[in-house]
Amino acid sequence: MLFIEPHAGVAPVIHFVRAARTRLDINTYLLTDRRVLAAVREAVARGVRVRVIIARHPYGHRPHGELARLRATGAKVRTAPPRFSGRYVFDHAKYMVSGNHGEIGTANMSWSAFHRNREYLWMGHDPRIAKALRTVFRADWTRRHAGAAPRRVLVLSPGATDALVRLLRTPGRVCIESEELGHDRPILAALRAKGGSADLLLPTRLDRYDRRIARLVASQGVHVRFLRRPYLHAKLIADPHQAFIGSENLSASSLQRNREVGLMFQRRVAHRLFDQCRRDFARGSKR
């Protein structure tokens, strides 16, 4: 099931945590929402084995305080592996897995994600997706590599560029939402080739570097707009028939160096994502 924020609120995440019976694995860049923390504490109290991986140095936050609050829930907590904990490299993933149920999305577990931001979350019962998420989580928990198998199901970074380029190259109109743009050459080449068939929506709070790249992309025919409210934290590429959501922004660091997790959708979910993106784009401004 697809949930769109900020309309869905925190309830779907709380429900997912409360539905866990034996094990719950969470990988998220931030986990600061008090209601989610309370739900995790309740899960531990009823005997669920909860493990959490969070970023070692989340931007603008004090990691030691967050770690203390998480550990106070009784969950087992680890920071991201060293290869995803450098100055310009992050564990930026946002997913949960419990049994054969999985959740993948664009939202951190923060108050802003559920009340202020445009975010997308998918939750569902799919053994293949759940197995792939467990494989990635286990690898990062034990500081190992996840291998090739999860990539047959997930859009996984490092190495997500090719999957997104293939989506951008499909015929017809495509709508894109991204919090960051960056300079990933294959992505920029695919946007240039798409030209006027691409609608690209970015947040108004875009740094100077990304804004310069946005002007370049616009000069090549791509329709570029900026959204003020809700804050555009989403990461979405959609046409009427297939779509992607995940933690990946369209930047080289996000696609090629970070730990990021996303998923491709078809048919009804894709069409819904495309329609939402088009509505957001229509509300955006050209500067």
Beta strands 94-98 and 101-105 are antiparallel
Instruction: Burial-class residue 16 by CB neighbours within 10 Å (0-12, 13-18, 19+).
Output: buried
Q: How many residues does the structure list for the chain?
A: 287
Is 111 part of a structural domain of the chain? yes
Residues 11 and 141 in one domain: yes
The confidence score (pLDDT) of residue 59 equals 64
What is the band of 237 on the pLDDT scale with cuts at 50, 70, 90?
Answer: very high
Residues 129 and 203 in one domain: no
Is 104's pLDDT higher than 90? yes
Is 183 part of a structural domain of the chain? yes
- CATH number for 24: 3.30.870.10
Is 140 part of a structural domain of the chain? yes
Is 156 part of a structural domain of the chain? no
Residues 144 and 15 in one domain: yes
What is the band of 62 on the pLDDT scale with cuts at 50, 70, 90?
Answer: low
Residues 141 and 260 in one domain: no
The confidence score (pLDDT) of residue 66 equals 82
Q: How much of the chain, in percent, has pLDDT values that exceed 90?
A: 93
Pick the range with the lowest mean pLDDT from 84-88, 95-99, 246-250: 84-88
Residues 9 and 133 in one domain: yes
The confidence score (pLDDT) of residue 60 equals 53
What is the band of 86 on the pLDDT scale with cuts at 50, 70, 90?
Answer: confident
Q: How far apart are CA 274 and CA 214, in angstroms?
A: 21
- Count of domains in the chain? 2
Asked which of 109, 125, 151 is the last residue of a domain, the reply is 151
Is 34 part of a structural domain of the chain? yes
Residues 18 and 140 in one domain: yes
Give which of 153, 116, 104, 155 is closest to 132, Cα–Cα.
153
The confidence score (pLDDT) of residue 61 equals 56
Residues 67 and 16 in one domain: yes
- How much is the average pLDDT of 243-268? 97
Asked which of 89, 123, 151 is the last residue of a domain, the reply is 151
Q: CA angle, corner 155, sides to 151 and 157, nearest 5?
A: 90
The confidence score (pLDDT) of residue 65 equals 78
Residues 176 and 212 in one domain: yes
Residue 52's beta-bridge partner residues?
26, 77
Residues 167 and 118 in one domain: no
Q: How far apart are CA 228 and CA 22, in angstroms?
A: 42
The confidence score (pLDDT) of residue 56 equals 86
Asked which of 117, 151, 185 is the last residue of a domain, the reply is 151
The pLDDT tens digits of the residues spanning 262-280 come to 999 999 999 999 999 999 9
Is 89 part of a structural domain of the chain? yes
Residues 107 and 143 in one domain: yes
Is 251 part of a structural domain of the chain? yes
* Averaged confidence pLDDT in the chain: 95
Q: How far apart are CA 139 and CA 113, in angstroms?
A: 27
The pLDDT tens digits of the residues spanning 24-60 come to 999 999 999 999 999 999 999 999 999 999 998 776 5
Residues 52 and 140 in one domain: yes
The pLDDT tens digits of the residues spanning 70-81 come to 999 999 999 999
Is 63's pLDDT higher than 80? no
Is 258 part of a structural domain of the chain? yes
Distances (CA, A) of 21 to 6, 100, 210: 28, 11, 44
Q: Which domain holds residue 246?
A: 161-283
Q: How many helices (H) and strands (E) does the chain have?
A: 10, 15
The confidence score (pLDDT) of residue 287 equals 79
Q: What are phi and psi of 92, to 5 degrees?
A: -110, 10
The pLDDT tens digits of the residues spanning 194-208 come to 999 999 999 999 999
Residues 129 and 195 in one domain: no
- How much is the average pLDDT of 5-22? 98
